[in-house]
Amino acid sequence: MRSTGLRCDLHVHSIHSGMCTMPWFDRICRECYSDPREVHRTLKRRGMDMVTITDHDSIDAGEALRRFSDFFLSEEVTCRMPSGTEVHIAVYDISERQHWQLQARRRDFPAFVAYLREQHLFSSVNHIFSSLTGRRVAADFAWFSTCFPAFEVRNGHVPRCNNNAAAAYAQALGKTGLAGSDAHAVRSLASAYVHVPGSRTKQEFLDGLRAGRVEVGGASGSVWKLTREVLALGECMMREHPLSVLLAPLGALVPLATLSNWVREVYAAQRWGRLTACAAASQQGAWSDCAQPATPHDTRLVG
C-alpha cells in the first residue's frame, strides 16, 4: 500500500524554458517542447500529487496552470556566481513579483541570495556537481554551503555517482536533499520526485520541504535515457522547423555526444565530490585544508 503524504517532481521543464544554449542550435531548437497542460496531466497520471514547473528564468507556464489547486509557481534561475561561473538555482512557491525581483538580481549573486533570505524563499542548488552549466570553481561551493537550505540530490538525468556525491555533501552540511526528473521531454516526467510523509495539503507539503521532512524517490539518469531525451528534442525541432530535417544525419552523432557528456559528468562528480567531502569534514565547508582558500566575504550571508 502507498504510504501517506504528497509527492512532487521538483524539477520539470516546459516549452517556456527558452532556446537551447548549444552553439548553432540556439536559434532553432528549444530547451523543451512540452505543453504545460500536458506536463500537468502526465505528472498526475504518474502519481504526483503536487505539480510545479521549474522553467529556466520563466514563470509563463503558470498562466495555464495556476487554476489548479495542486499547482505552485517555481522557476530554475540561471545565476552568475561572483567567480563568473553559472549555476541553476531552483526557487519554489514564488509570486510573480518575486519572479521579477529574482530575475533582476540573477547576475548579482550576493543581492540574489540576500533577496531569497529577505523573502524567506525556499531554494535549492540544482545538479550541484554537474558540468551542465559549464566550469565550476571551489569558491562556488563556499557560497552553496552557506546560502542555500537544500541541494538537489536526485536528478533524473545525471549519473548515479553524481547524485550520490550530492547526497553525501548535503548530508555532511545538514542540507535538505531534493529530487526531480529534470524532464525536458514528457517521457521522463516523474522519473525522480520527492515525498513529504504525512502531508495532506499544499501548505503541509511546502512546510515539510522547508522543515526537511523529505524522502527522495525515482531513479538517476543513464546514457540511454539522455540520448532518448536529446533525440526527442530533435524530433520536435524538425516538426517546428521542417527545413531542419536537413540536420537529421547529425542524429547519428547524438549517442557519441551524450556518452562524452556522461564521462565529463562522472569526472566532475569524482573531482568535486572528493573536494567537497574534505571541506565539509573540516569546519562545515571551509576550503582552507582542501582547495584554494576561497570563501564568500559578505557577512550578510553568513549565519
Residues that bind Zn ion (CB under 5 A): 76, 88, 126, 182
CA-based end-to-end distance of the chain: 42
**Main-chain phi, psi angles of 139, to 5 degrees:** -60, -30
192-197 and 5-8 beta bridge pairing: antiparallel
- Is 75 or 290 the residue whose CB approaches Zn ion more closely? 75
- Is 233 or 291 the residue whose CB approaches Zn ion more closely? 233
- Is 79 or 142 the residue whose CB approaches Zn ion more closely? 79
The x, y and z cell numbers of residue 124, run together, are: 535549492
- Is 49 or 182 the residue whose CB approaches Zn ion more closely? 182
The x, y and z cell numbers of residue 205, run together, are: 507539503
**Least distance in angstroms from the C-beta of 192 to Zn ion:** 12
**Least distance in angstroms from the C-beta of 58 to Zn ion:** 12
**Least distance in angstroms from the C-beta of 185 to Zn ion:** 12
Contacts of 85 (CB under 8 A, 6+ apart): 133, 134, 135, 136, 137, 140
192-197 and 176-180 beta bridge pairing: unpaired
- What is the DSSP secondary structure assignment for residue 127, as one 8-state letter? S
**Least distance in angstroms from the C-beta of 67 to Zn ion:** 24
The x, y and z cell numbers of residue 3, run together, are: 504510504
- Is 88 or 175 the residue whose CB approaches Zn ion more closely? 88
Contacts of 244 (CB under 8 A, 6+ apart): 28, 29, 237, 238
**Least distance in angstroms from the C-beta of 166 to Zn ion:** 13
- Is 70 or 152 the residue whose CB approaches Zn ion more closely? 152
285: left (phi over 0), alpha (psi -120 to 50) or beta: left
**Identity of residue 20:** C
**Least distance in angstroms from the C-beta of 86 to Zn ion:** 10
174: exposed, middle or buried (Cβ count in 10 Å: 0-12, 13-18, 19+): exposed
The x, y and z cell numbers of residue 155, run together, are: 536528478
In the bound state, the residue with its beta carbon closest to Zn ion is 88
Q: How many CB atoms lie within 10 A of CB 170?
A: 23
**Identity of residue 130:** S
The x, y and z cell numbers of residue 207, run together, are: 512546510
**Least distance in angstroms from the C-beta of 94 to Zn ion:** 16
- Is 5 or 159 the residue whose CB approaches Zn ion more closely? 159
**Main-chain phi, psi angles of 191, to 5 degrees:** -75, -15
**Least distance in angstroms from the C-beta of 236 to Zn ion:** 17
Nearest to 130 by CA among 107, 103, 153: 153
- Is 88 or 195 the residue whose CB approaches Zn ion more closely? 88
